[in-house]
Structure 1
Amino acid sequence: MDDRRVTLRRMTPAEYQSATEIREAETVEQLAERMPAELAREQTRQGTARFLPDGADTAGHHLVVAEDEAGRTVGTAWIGPDPRAGAGAATSAWLYHLRVLPEFRRQGYGAAVLAAAEQLAVRVGWTDLALNVFGGNEAAIALYQRCGYGISSMYLNKSLRA
């Protein structure tokens, strides 16, 4: 499975719309475990508007579809400048989202999409690739660790809602 290879290509407008809907729904689901669902939806919408003000045409952001060697879509990714850096000062990239379609999971495609995202970042001129992952997403955490990513900071949370 380690021999999987993917090619990244720019999303079409329809793919961008679908990927955005899926990404936002997944994010809302995760956030709603820690806050009211309506607040989670609003924060998610605000995040998309903030980081992708021009949608798929937002400068410096790469919203891509991953295709396997047979040309099948196996996943999507969003790579852009590290949001922790000042405007125009980012030397490192940020992996905002990586998704492998359900029928292709646990077959090595996650690592392949991640490797292709790293190669894209290098071509753009970024020196590092960072990301954030929800603590309960054990599959993603395991993938990132297998691919050489380490914890650089940790944010802990405890719900005090009844």
Structure 2
Amino acid sequence: MNSPTVTLRPMRQDEYEKYTTRRDLEYVQALAETMPAEAAREKARQDRAQFLPRGLATERQRILVAEDTEGQVVGYAWVGLEEPRTKTTDTAWLYDISVEEPYRRSGYGRAILAAVEAVAREAGADRLGLNVFGDNTPAISLYRACGYEVTAQQMAKRL
């Protein structure tokens, strides 16, 4: 099978609300595995306010739509052009990557990730960081296959 090709374009305002609503819901569901649901909703709200205070117009943040060669939307990516804690620009930060359901397990995740890496390099970064929830096996497999390494790890046990 040939590897798919994607093109990234800036997300339009009419796409933004649908994307962020879905992303926030998925984020809350993942957070709720480690904290009460209300705390997870509040953290998601605070994180969006912190990292996207001006939505699509937030400086140094790119929310991108991935399209295949026929112009079909196959996924999304949100990349910050600086490390979120230190604000240094040698490290870009991948906040989110997603592939639409019909396109999963077909190489689109890898193609979107490669395109995001190119965006980060063009912005002057020589490293792309990200966080991944420990139970997100498909994402962890993708990142490992693409050369990403664990740099920190948290663990917990439900009692």
- When normalised by structure 2's length, the TM-score is 0.95
Q: Summarize the alignment of residues 65-76 of structure 1 with structure 2, pairs less than 5 Å apart.
A: 65-76=65-76
1:125–1:2 distance in 2 versus 1, CA, 3 Å: farther
Distance in 1 (CA, whole Å) between partners of 2:62 and 2:103 is 22
Correspondence 1:30 to 2:37: no
Q: Summarize the alignment of residues 114-129 of structure 1 with structure 2, pairs less than 5 Å apart.
A: 114-129=113-128
Distance in 2 (CA, whole Å) between partners of 1:14 and 1:41 is 23
Q: For residue 10 of structure 2, what is the aligned residue in structure 1?
A: 10
Percent of aligned pairs with the same amino acid:
47
Correspondence 1:41 to 2:41: yes
Q: What RMSD over aligned residues (CA atoms) do the two structures have, in Å?
A: 1.1
Instruction: Extract structure 1 runs of 4+ deviating beyond 6 A.
Output: none
TM superposition shift of 1:84: 2.4
Q: For residue 57 of structure 1, what is the aligned residue in structure 2?
A: 57
Amino acid at match of 1:85: T
Distance in 1 (CA, whole Å) between partners of 2:102 and 2:115 is 20
Amino acid at match of 2:145: R
Distance in 1 (CA, whole Å) between partners of 2:32 and 2:45 is 14
Distance in 2 (CA, whole Å) between partners of 1:154 and 1:35 is 18
Partner SS state of residue 151, structure 1: coil
- Checking the alignment, whether the CA contact within 8 Å between 2:89 and 2:124 is kept in structure 1 is no
Q: For residue 83 of structure 2, what is the aligned residue in structure 1?
A: 82
Q: For residue 103 of structure 1, what is the aligned residue in structure 2?
A: 102
Partner SS state of residue 66, structure 1: strand
Distance in 2 (CA, whole Å) between partners of 1:83 and 1:90 is 10
Q: Can you give the 5+ residue segments of structure 1 that lack an aligned partner in the other structure?
A: none
Distance in 2 (CA, whole Å) between partners of 1:153 and 1:2 is 34
Per-residue CA deviations over 1:32-90 (Å, capped at 9, x if unaligned) read 1111111100100100000011111100011000000111000000000211214xx33
Amino acid at match of 1:110: G
TM superposition shift of 1:2: 5.3
